[in-house]
Chain A
Amino acid sequence: MVDWFGVCYYHAMQYKEDLRRLFTARIRRLREEIAAKETTTEFRLMHTSGTTNEPLPVVYTKRPDWNPVFLGEGERVVMLFGSKPLRLDFVQAYFDTDTPNADVLFLDPGMETAVIVEAFNSFKPTTLVSPPTTLLRMTKNCSKEVLEQVSYIVLAGELLSEETAAALDVRFPRASVLNTYAATEVGEMGVSCPKCARNEFHPFSGVTFDINNPDEAGVGDVLVSKDNPGGITLEQYNIGDVGALGEHDGEQTIRLLGRRGYDYIKLAGALLVREEFDRVARELERYILDYKAEVATSEVSGAPVHSITLFVTTAMSVTENFEKTVAEEFSKRIFVTPNSTLKDAIRKGVFSPLTVTVVDRIEHTTIKPQRLYVVK
């Protein structure tokens, strides 16, 4: 019997009392079943990636089955997304489902290129499930013959840029590409159809979208409501995305435009957090009076490469090596994952070397004072 899930929002979302109540109820049920030595195989414990604040613990009691579109249709499936609990949940979904009977291989985004290439060559995947930029980066050096055998790609976890979509078409000429909308704490929400614009999604059955405080163009915070078979409805959950409602074929769609706020950017497994930039800028205050960072993504030999430009003002007299020194110091101090600095990410080729440019004055936007990053 399908039941429903609860989610706990400790810090950032305490106003979501209903979600906290559900989490508490589910944890209580788990402990009761443990104490009674009843079966507990229906529970799923996981946590979010923490982009909304801190990682949020999530517990499902027999989550609704994954929509079959997420499981792919091929015999040999490679999954490339980073969340470990989500991976486990997907494996469970495969084992729980009669079809497809697949061989499922997970590869870590941080693996060495040679290992990835050899794994692809040995496994010869027919289906790939991945965030789009991770997929491009990890298959950059794989053989053309192997990639041409891929017949089905499920994208999730990131907005799909025009450049990335075009590069995927070239990289995987025989694959049907399905873009999906899902989040750890809510589960699957929607899927694109061939008529959809990029990042436009039809809601799955039982899911509705609303826009909170839409501007004149209809753009605002995306609110998700989701019916659940246990009888409790998730109502107007602010998922942290910005978008607008659309419609075609008589059905409501959601068109995603970005994430709420500009105090972080998530790229290829790296998380560029404004507070972390602020921390390093404070450490380097002898060099930096004020700063503004811009992030851009470009394509190099078919793979996305991200670059950061740091515009700084300084009280120092600028010598020939000033910008190089600041770039070096900044890159080795700033963490873009819990254990990796920007310097590490540059070494792996995920980011190009940090560019520092001295300017006379930093123009912070007056509309959103916290907006420090711009994705081009």
Chain B
Amino acid sequence: MSDRVDDLLDRAAARIPINEAPIDTILERADRQRRRTLAISACVGIAGAVAVATFASLGTGGATSPTVAADGLPTTKPLDPSSAAVDWQVGAPVHIPAPGEPCVDAATIPTSSLAADPVVSGALPRDGDMSSATAWACPLPSGTTVAITWADGTVIYYEPNSFHGNPNVWFEGMAQTWGGSVIVVDDHLGYVSTANSEPGVIHEALFVEGDTVIRVQAPADVDSATFEKIVRSFQFAGTSAKQS
């Protein structure tokens, strides 16, 4: 039978039409992704250097924008609002808002705007207390940029439209830069930050569902490994995340 399968597969495969290999496209995509990774790295530099003055500093011109030094290492320079677009994502550059532009600071989103049942609760795992963990899910109007200050001080800008492109590429870029994990829960792509894995800090995870960003926080007494395990046990329903 194996010889016969061998023969049949060869004959079937021979009937499959083959177009020319898109070598130039692959090389071009690799170059763009490399530039994007450097840009993200530069943003880490921003956060480390400025602690980033959170979102408010954008309004005072205190933020910086990334450039790439001749040696390939990211550096920073004062933000020029007229050229603030950063190629974070293939095909969908994320726009860093200039002073005065509408932007939402995630920390200021009122509880009333949270999706139903945003608090993660339920049976506590034996090896970690998640009783005070919280999650929020916020529908993001198209065109809005959201700034989230993570527990380790990094600021990441999310633009809902950009997730329609290829979120896994975006998350992978984050993971490569910050050392976090790209995970899949309930078919939802997510990212767990391990940059803030020092004891005593809050752990965070991020998921995207359409135009909605779901962010999960754990208290400081949960270690990174436990947190990731717990996040993997989430179940998604609508725009809220629940611990199963």
User: Does chain A bind chain B?
Assistant: no
